[in-house]
Amino acid sequence: MREERQLGRSISGNIDTRSTIIRNHFITLRGKKRKLQSFAVYGGIFLLTISFLVYGNSSNNAVAEKPKTLASAEVSNTSTSTASGVVKAKTVSVDKLAAASAVTNLAETAELPSAGDLRESETSLTIKKNLSQNDSEVITKPDIVKPDTSAARGISSYVTKEGDNIEKIAKKFKISPQTLRWANNTTSDAIEPNKTLIVPLIDGVVYTVKDGDTAQSLADKYKTSAERVVLYNDIDDGSKLTAGARIVIPGGELPEAERPGYVAPRGRLSHGNSRYGSYGHGSSSTTSASRSWLTASVGNRYAAGNCTWYAYERRLQLGRPIGSFWGNANTWHTSARAAGFLVNNTPVPGAIIQNTWGGYGYGHVGIVERVDGHNIYVSDMNYAGYNVISSRTIPLAEVGRYSFIH
């Protein structure tokens, strides 16, 4: 009996021992399984993030391989026709920096050999991001996803529509009206429809490189830094600028002698509270009727050389035709109202400016080209002399003396 009890106890003890061993084995296997699962999850996240970055870089490289004119590349003679120029800025984004940080942390946790390289890359991205925030647009390098016909870096184009003006278009592209005027060699904010404008994507100067130009010489001339010229236009260190290439000089300022409408001083004439000189719209300025104005358009019944004749032609050019029989300038506000035109005391680009006084009793009309916080900029004919097209400024404080036909 005693032997049977001892034998039973011995068997029971062996069973308990085996159960403990088996339980510990399962616990160990469960722990390893959890570790494998965790490793698989982290590994999946790591691979997914790496794939995202690789795909993003390959996409950027594919875009960069599209034809585009750089200051350090040869000028292309071919034209690429596109419906619109969509621009994507190559900046250090928050998403890219966050992804780089996540990949680096995972690599360090897994003790991968590449962890050190990834940490250095993340640090470089952080430095570039801080630089772009401290130095406005210094490292921003726009890529033209769909290049315009010039395929120039940082330059797009825009075809005007009815109702557009320089100020509206500049606001659309987030640049200053001044930059847009300089790029298109115009002093006017009134723009005709279906006109293709050059649109730089940052404030500054659009410039065509000439023989002997360097980044430093251009920076000195246009009052900016050579570093910004090099970085914005993606110019390789030490490379020679290619004559004929069109670049953007970020933050550049045009010298007065190169600005649209500039006329060398020859003793300015004055007339009342206005001052006048040459008027330029488009690519040229003139002090007398140019060839494009010598022949009247069909429907122009006004006397050539008079202010009414010019106002009719200029409005037609802007895509805003008026009546052919509005009489002398001093009756235009009445005729315009009768024809359904809005007449008020608010100057806007493209409106006709009219006064009943002056002009030897016949009044005077012109075209509002631009308005700022101080002046109204007007183009007209027969103010500076018979058959002479000129421009002048009228203080905004005197707006109440005039009518504006819209």
Query: In CATH, what number is assigned to the domain containing residue 218?
Result: 3.10.350.10
105/119 Cα distance (integer angstroms): 8
Would you call 174 helix, strand, or coil by DSSP? coil
Q: Is 46 within a domain? A: yes
**312 and 324 Cβ atoms separated by less than 8 Å:** yes
| β strands within 196-272, DSSP E | 196-200, 204-208, 246-250, 270-271
Together in a domain, 102 and 160: no
Which of 101-110, 162-171, 269-278, 353-362 is predicted least confidently?
Answer: 269-278
What pLDDT is stored for residue 214 in this prediction? 92
Q: Which two tokens stand for residue 352?
A: 């006709």
Q: How many domains does the chain have?
A: 3
- Give the mean pLDDT of 45-53: 59
Chain center to CA of 196: 15
Would you call 279 helix, strand, or coil by DSSP? strand
371/266 Cα distance (integer angstroms): 26
Q: Is 130 within a domain? A: yes
Percent of the chain whose predicted confidence (pLDDT) is above 70: 56
What pLDDT is stored for residue 235 in this prediction? 85
Helix or strand holding residue 172 (H, E):
helix 166-173
**91 and 140 Cβ atoms separated by less than 8 Å:** yes
Q: Residue type for 391, please?
A: S
Residue 49 pLDDT > 80: no
The CA-CA-CA angle for residues 358, 351, 374, to 5°, reads 75
Domain of residue 398: give its range: 270-405
Which of 35-39, 66-70, 255-259 is predicted least confidently?
Answer: 66-70
Kindly report, residue by residue over 181-235, the tens digit of the pLDDT: 999 999 999 999 999 999 999 999 999 999 999 999 999 999 999 999 998 988 8
Please choose, from the candidates 338, 358, 360, 370, the residue with its C-alpha nearest in 3D space to the C-alpha of residue 401: 358
Beta bridge partners of 160: none
- The larger pLDDT score, comparing residue 205 to residue 60, is at 205
Together in a domain, 217 and 98: no
Residue 51 pLDDT > 50: yes
Kindly report, residue by residue over 325-348, the tens digit of the pLDDT: 999 999 999 999 999 999 999 999
What pLDDT is stored for residue 88 in this prediction? 42
What pLDDT is stored for residue 107 in this prediction? 65
Together in a domain, 401 and 275: yes
Q: Which residues contact 102 (CB under 8 A, 6 or more apart)?
A: 45, 49
Together in a domain, 61 and 177: no
Neighbours of 265 (CB within 10 A): 7
**278 and 390 Cβ atoms separated by less than 8 Å:** yes
Q: Is 99 within a domain? A: yes
Together in a domain, 188 and 232: yes
Residue 132 pLDDT > 90: no
